[in-house]
Structure 1
Amino acid sequence: MLVLLPPSETKAPGGDGAPLDLAVLTAPELTDTRAEIADALVKLAGDVPAARTALGLSPTQDAEIVRNAELWTSPTRPALERYTGVLYDALDVGSMTRAQRSRATGRLAVGSALFGLVRGGDPIPAYRLSAGSALPGLPTLRALWKPVLSPVLAAVDELVVDLRSGSYAALAPVPGAVTLEVLSERPDGTRSVVSHFNKAHKGRVARLLALTTAEPADVVRLRSLLRRAGLHVEHDGGRALTLVVAAP
């Protein structure tokens, strides 16, 4: 089972790993595109006003541009430690035992505007680039990633659970992947899409899937696994699951 997570705009600083080496990252087929985007991002950092515009940053966020400028020289840390925020707080890698951590790094991967795809243990630096960003002189990120990333994901020969947000899923959709929508149900039975807590719920699901010893082979078995864990999961017969949570 491969669980695809969205990245986060916020990243943990520092690290004790060697500087970025694209050759050690998962899926070497992506190396050329990674290098092209990384070089463009470093070059863009040399023009602070242009970087602010391209990345959607304010002057108070110039430290993010400095991170990009130091992309090739700054220390790295495993991807599951680098990304932060609501989803990764719920995933809570720091509380895992060594055996659990090993299982998680093998099952979890992160969609990335800069790297395309990284496994949980891949060493990466802090950076700032979102799926919707436009880098001067380059095609859109979707145009860059889709031709090279789609074959990599299509070649995965295990169940793929795609928890990526829409903009990252659009970089390279995965045919046949199981998706998860989170709905909030009120006491009167009406439902609405969860917005604020969506990432937290997906982080908890990701943790469950990362740590289980089960190996669900299809969407039906995956639904059963989630239900046995106490989650209210519905299945309409397709490839989509719906997680229903009580309204706060």
Structure 2
Amino acid sequence: MLILLPPSEGKATPSRGSALALDKLSSPWLTAARRQVIDALVELCAADPAAAAAALEIGSTQLDLVDLNARAHESPTARADRIYTGVLYDALDSGSLSPAARRRAATRVAITSSVFGLVRLTDKIPAYRLSGNSTLPGLGGVAAHWRAHLGPAVLDALGRGLLVDLRSTAYAAFWKPTPDLARRTATVRVLHEHQGQRKIVSHFNKATKGRLVRALLEDGANPGTPAALATALRDLGWHVESTPEKSGTRLDVVVGEL
């Protein structure tokens, strides 16, 4: 099973740690594509911070994020699960997982990143600010860049297992499962039900996804099909509705409260 997560906009900035070593990251065949993004980002942010802030939609009070990007090659790094913060990662709380669940997380969870393409929770990366819908001079759209490079890395990470896609729309555009993967692809969305109406609410969506992943890792379930995943989630206490689609199976997790 491969669980694909989106990154968080907010990130922790390590105060110490080794500098980025691209050759030590997982999915090493992405090294050249990663270097292209980083070099374009560093050049943009180092040359003209004000222009970079405008291009990356960074507010004038957050120019420290531009400087952070400019120093991507030498900034301290930390494990990805300590860099990414926010509602989903707070709910996942990987640092408090049991030893067995932590081992499962290392092999079953991957994060789609605008800078690194795909990272594992144990990969050591610096903090950065680059959204999935950004465009970089000399590189073009970040999403289009990764669409050209990401497929082999995801397929290698997936192997023969089930793909559990929890990515947000912007990061789902980096790579889309091919039709031959439909029978083992589950796309999960979270619906908040209130007074008989259902809708996607960002906070509920992110928090519930984090809890789902945590529950699966702690339980140890390793379903091989969308139907088996739906059963596993129901056994863990979630209300799950399944809808077959051409690209796979959509699993709607319906919640009433956090």
TM-score, with length taken from structure 1: 0.94
Matched, 1:83 2:90: no
User: What are the ranges of 5 or more consecutive residues in structure 1 without an aligned counterpart?
Assistant: none
1:197, 1:191 → 2: CA distance?
Answer: 12
- The counterpart of 1:230, out of the listed 232, 237, 241, is 237
- For these two proteins, the number of residue pairs brought into alignment is 247
1:159-183 Cα deviation digits (max 9, x unpaired): 1111110110101112332111211
Q: Give the conservation status (yes or no) of the 8 Å contact 1:154–1:174.
A: no
CA RMSD in angstroms, aligned pairs only: 1.5
SS in 2 for 1:29: helix
* Shift, 1:138, TM fit: 1.6
1:99, 1:247 → 2: CA distance?
Answer: 29
Q: Give the conservation status (yes or no) of the 8 Å contact 1:2–1:108.
A: yes
- State the identity as a percent: 47
SS in 1 for 2:213: helix
- What letter is aligned with 1:117? L
**Where do residues 59-208 of structure 1 align in structure 2 (5 Å cutoff)?**
59-155=60-156, 156-157=158-159, 158-175=161-178, 176=182, 177-187=185-195, 189-208=196-215
Q: Give the conservation status (yes or no) of the 8 Å contact 2:112–2:119.
A: yes
User: What are the ranges of 5 or more consecutive residues in structure 2 without an aligned counterpart?
Assistant: none
1:56-83 Cα deviation digits (max 9, x unpaired): 0111111111111111111111111110
Partner of 2:252: 242
1:58-117 Cα deviation digits (max 9, x unpaired): 111111111111111111111111100010010011222333222212211100000000
2:122, 2:257 → 1: CA distance?
Answer: 35
1:175-202 Cα deviation digits (max 9, x unpaired): 3321112112234x33222333211111
* Shift, 1:12, TM fit: 0.9
* Shift, 1:241, TM fit: 0.2
Matched, 1:52 2:90: no
> Could you list the runs of 4 or more consecutive aligned residues of structure 1 that deviate by over 6 angstroms after TM superposition?
none
